[in-house]
Protein backbone atom coordinates (compact mmCIF):
# COMPACT_ATOMS: atom_id res chain seq x y z
CA UNK A 1 0.00 0.00 0.00
CA UNK A 2 1.39 3.38 -1.01
CA UNK A 3 1.46 6.10 1.61
CA UNK A 4 1.62 9.58 0.20
CA UNK A 5 0.15 12.99 0.74
CA UNK A 6 -2.05 14.52 -1.92
CA UNK A 7 -0.98 18.04 -2.82
CA UNK A 8 -3.62 20.34 -4.28
CA UNK A 9 -3.20 21.79 -7.76
CA UNK A 10 -4.84 24.82 -9.36
CA UNK A 11 -6.89 22.55 -11.63
CA UNK A 12 -8.42 20.62 -8.68
CA UNK A 13 -9.70 23.68 -6.83
CA UNK A 14 -13.08 25.28 -7.34
CA UNK A 15 -13.36 28.81 -5.97
CA UNK A 16 -16.57 29.75 -4.13
CA UNK A 17 -17.72 33.22 -3.13
CA UNK A 18 -18.85 34.04 0.41
CA UNK A 19 -20.74 37.09 1.68
CA UNK A 20 -20.08 38.35 5.23
CA UNK A 21 -22.13 41.02 6.98
CA UNK A 22 -19.78 42.84 9.39
CA UNK A 23 -22.55 44.69 11.23
CA UNK A 24 -22.10 44.19 14.98
CA UNK A 25 -19.13 41.81 14.52
CA UNK A 26 -15.93 42.13 16.55
CA UNK A 27 -13.04 43.04 14.25
CA UNK A 28 -10.50 40.41 15.33
CA UNK A 29 -12.93 37.50 15.40
CA UNK A 30 -14.31 38.46 12.01
CA UNK A 31 -10.82 38.81 10.53
CA UNK A 32 -9.80 35.37 11.83
CA UNK A 33 -12.75 33.68 10.12
CA UNK A 34 -12.16 35.55 6.88
CA UNK A 35 -8.40 34.82 6.84
CA UNK A 36 -9.06 31.12 7.42
CA UNK A 37 -11.57 31.04 4.55
CA UNK A 38 -9.23 32.96 2.20
CA UNK A 39 -6.38 30.62 3.06
CA UNK A 40 -8.51 27.51 2.42
CA UNK A 41 -8.14 25.88 5.85
CA UNK A 42 -11.78 24.72 5.68
CA UNK A 43 -11.00 22.71 2.54
CA UNK A 44 -10.00 19.03 2.84
CA UNK A 45 -7.50 19.62 0.01
CA UNK A 46 -5.72 22.38 2.01
CA UNK A 47 -2.08 22.69 1.02
CA UNK A 48 -0.01 25.38 2.76
CA UNK A 49 1.85 26.56 -0.35
CA UNK A 50 -1.13 26.54 -2.78
CA UNK A 51 -4.08 28.92 -2.97
CA UNK A 52 -6.95 26.58 -2.01
CA UNK A 53 -9.16 29.31 -0.54
CA UNK A 54 -12.34 31.05 -1.57
CA UNK A 55 -13.21 34.67 -2.31
CA UNK A 56 -14.88 36.72 0.44
CA UNK A 57 -17.07 39.82 0.17
CA UNK A 58 -17.48 41.91 3.34
CA UNK A 59 -20.33 44.44 3.55
CA UNK A 60 -21.20 46.99 6.28
CA UNK A 61 -17.55 47.49 7.25
CA UNK A 62 -18.52 50.86 8.75
CA UNK A 63 -20.58 49.06 11.43
CA UNK A 64 -17.70 46.95 12.81
CA UNK A 65 -17.19 46.74 16.59
CA UNK A 66 -14.03 47.04 18.67
CA UNK A 67 -13.96 46.14 22.36
CA UNK A 68 -12.70 48.26 25.24
CA UNK A 69 -10.84 51.50 24.52
CA UNK A 70 -9.43 50.29 21.21
CA UNK A 71 -11.27 53.01 19.24
CA UNK A 72 -8.93 55.58 20.82
CA UNK A 73 -5.87 53.47 21.74
CA UNK A 74 -5.38 51.30 18.64
CA UNK A 75 -3.06 53.06 16.20
CA UNK A 76 -2.30 52.34 12.56
CA UNK A 77 1.04 53.45 11.11
CA UNK A 78 2.35 54.14 7.63
CA UNK A 79 5.61 55.66 6.45
CA UNK A 80 6.19 57.92 3.47
CA UNK A 81 9.77 56.76 3.00
CA UNK A 82 11.24 60.12 3.97
CA UNK A 83 12.89 61.06 7.25
CA UNK A 84 10.24 61.94 9.81
CA UNK A 85 7.57 60.52 7.50
CA UNK A 86 5.82 58.27 10.03
CA UNK A 87 2.07 58.93 9.99
CA UNK A 88 -0.24 57.70 12.76
CA UNK A 89 -4.03 57.41 12.81
CA UNK A 90 -6.24 55.86 15.49
CA UNK A 91 -9.05 53.38 14.80
CA UNK A 92 -11.91 55.90 15.15
CA UNK A 93 -10.41 58.32 12.63
CA UNK A 94 -9.61 55.46 10.22
CA UNK A 95 -13.24 54.29 10.50
CA UNK A 96 -14.44 57.78 9.56
CA UNK A 97 -11.94 58.15 6.72
CA UNK A 98 -11.69 54.64 5.17
CA UNK A 99 -13.80 52.00 7.01
CA UNK A 100 -12.82 49.29 4.52
CA UNK A 101 -9.19 49.53 5.60
CA UNK A 102 -9.96 48.43 9.18
CA UNK A 103 -11.06 45.00 7.95
CA UNK A 104 -8.47 44.76 5.16
CA UNK A 105 -5.52 45.54 7.49
CA UNK A 106 -6.72 43.08 10.15
CA UNK A 107 -7.12 40.24 7.63
CA UNK A 108 -3.84 41.02 5.86
CA UNK A 109 -1.97 40.69 9.16
CA UNK A 110 -3.30 37.13 9.52
CA UNK A 111 -2.17 35.95 6.08
CA UNK A 112 1.31 34.68 5.11
CA UNK A 113 3.90 37.40 4.50
CA UNK A 114 4.97 36.17 1.04
CA UNK A 115 3.78 35.95 -2.58
CA UNK A 116 0.90 33.67 -1.60
CA UNK A 117 -0.35 36.17 0.97
CA UNK A 118 -0.28 38.96 -1.61
CA UNK A 119 -2.39 36.82 -3.96
CA UNK A 120 -4.84 35.88 -1.21
CA UNK A 121 -5.57 39.47 -0.12
CA UNK A 122 -6.68 40.25 -3.69
CA UNK A 123 -9.58 37.80 -3.19
CA UNK A 124 -10.98 39.93 -0.33
CA UNK A 125 -13.54 42.57 -1.36
CA UNK A 126 -14.58 45.02 1.39
CA UNK A 127 -17.39 47.60 1.15
CA UNK A 128 -18.45 50.22 3.71
CA UNK A 129 -22.16 49.99 2.93
CA UNK A 130 -24.58 47.15 2.32
CA UNK A 131 -24.28 47.21 -1.48
CA UNK A 132 -21.71 45.29 -3.54
CA UNK A 133 -21.23 44.73 -7.30
CA UNK A 134 -20.65 40.95 -7.08
CA UNK A 135 -24.19 39.56 -7.49
CA UNK A 136 -23.13 37.72 -10.67
CA UNK A 137 -20.83 35.46 -8.61
CA UNK A 138 -23.83 34.29 -6.51
CA UNK A 139 -22.11 34.57 -3.08
CA UNK A 140 -23.36 32.41 -0.23
CA UNK A 141 -23.89 33.92 3.22
CA UNK A 142 -21.09 32.87 5.57
CA UNK A 143 -22.25 32.01 9.09
CA UNK A 144 -19.73 33.09 11.72
CA UNK A 145 -19.33 31.11 14.94
Report the distance separating Cα 133 and Cα 142, nearest Å: 17
Tell me the three state secondary structure of residue 32: helix
Domain 16-65+98-141: top CATH class: alpha beta
What is the mean pLDDT for each group of 10 consecutive residues in the chain (145 residues)? 81 92 96 97 92 96 96 97 98 97 98 97 97 96 86
pTM: 0.92
Amino acid sequence: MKKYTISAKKSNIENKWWLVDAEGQTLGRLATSIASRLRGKHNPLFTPHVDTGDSVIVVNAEKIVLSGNKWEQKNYYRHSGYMGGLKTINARKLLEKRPEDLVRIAVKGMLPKNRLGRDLIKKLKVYAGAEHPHEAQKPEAMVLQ
